[in-house]
């Protein structure tokens, strides 16, 4: 996790617009984009936002840019003044706010699971989600360290920062030994992880639906996979 506020200020100090890719941040860490003076940001919704693979993205445009009609943009008909949208005029008149950057209408069926997820976030609250995220990720980290101590053939290291302030719920584990064979073993035993070359497994105990029991069971499966 980067210091978004400080980096944004540094970029703007030299005259740059500062935008952020929040694909792994949305629904995972606390974001205060308006307060941090971020110019713009974009993120996908299928990771921590639980909308499903390939679903719609989200974006943010700081309110200080809302009335700047001179900004370059992908101007689409759905970002045009709603009252004049179907008059087919030659000049683009953007809607106030981030909606002025919207290109077309939203796919209703795709938005249904996204809406259900956002409602859960609103009901639970980001602070509670972050609290469990910190606890369950720390528990996973503890399990990995215990396996590393107990199993002689365990050849891996956690390359994600240990500092809670510098990470979300994902732990990236570099495998020095078994590599992809261990990844396949986990998949065959019901553990869904993510493989990244050259030898990294990404583990993400998403707090909304992952339990501490899941973490314990994962540890047992991982230990068996290493020992086999």
Q: Please give the full DSSP string across 35-84, using - where no structure is assigned.
A: TTT--EEEE-SSSTT---TT---EEEE-GGGTT-TTS-----GGGB-GGG
pLDDT exceeds cutoff 90 at 227: no
Tell me 101's DSSP state.
Answer: G
* pLDDT at residue 194 in the model: 94
pTM of the prediction? 0.87
Average pLDDT of span 131-146: 97
* pLDDT at residue 98 in the model: 83
The residue with greater pLDDT, 5 or 53, is 5
The residue with greater pLDDT, 72 or 226, is 226
Domains of the chain: 4-124 (3.40.640.10), 126-227 (3.90.1150.10)
Tell me 100's DSSP state.
Answer: G
pLDDT exceeds cutoff 90 at 49: yes
Helix (H, G, I), strand (E, B) or coil at 12: helix
Average pLDDT of span 75-81: 89
What is the C-alpha separation between 222 and 154, in angstroms, rounded?
10
Residue in 96, 100, 28, 114 with CA at minimum distance from that of residue 59: 100
pLDDT exceeds cutoff 90 at 15: yes
CA angle 148, 153, 155 (to 5 degrees): 60
* pLDDT at residue 68 in the model: 83
């Amino acid at each position: 996790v980067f210091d978004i506020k400080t980096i944004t200020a540094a970029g703007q100090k030299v005259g740059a617009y500062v935008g952020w890719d929040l694909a792994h941040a949305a629904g995972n860490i606390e974001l205060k984009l308006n307060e941090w003076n971020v110019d713009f940001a974009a993120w996908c919704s299928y990771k921590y936002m639980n909308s499903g693979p390939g679903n719609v993205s989200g974006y943010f445009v700081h309110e200080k840019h809302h009335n700047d009609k001179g900004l370059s943009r992908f101007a689409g008909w759905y970002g045009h003044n709603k009252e004049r949208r179907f008059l087919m005029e030659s000049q683009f008149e953007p809607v106030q706010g981030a909606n002025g950057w919207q290109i077309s209408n939203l796919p209703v069926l795709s938005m249904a699971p996204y809406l259900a997820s956002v409602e859960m976030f609103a009901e639970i609250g980001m602070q509670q989600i972050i609290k469990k995220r910190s606890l369950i990720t720390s528990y996973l980290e503890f399990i990995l360290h215990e396996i590393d101590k107990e199993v002689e053939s365990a050849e891996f290291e956690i390359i994600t920062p240990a500092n809670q302030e510098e990470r979300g719920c994902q732990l990236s584990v570099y495998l020095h030994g078994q590599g992809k064979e261990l990844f396949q073993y986990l998949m065959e035993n019901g553990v869904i992880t993510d493989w990244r070359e050259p030898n990294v497994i990404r583990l993400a105990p998403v707090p909304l639906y992952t339990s501490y029991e899941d973490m314990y069971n994962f540890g047992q499966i991982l230990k068996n996979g290493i020992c086999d």
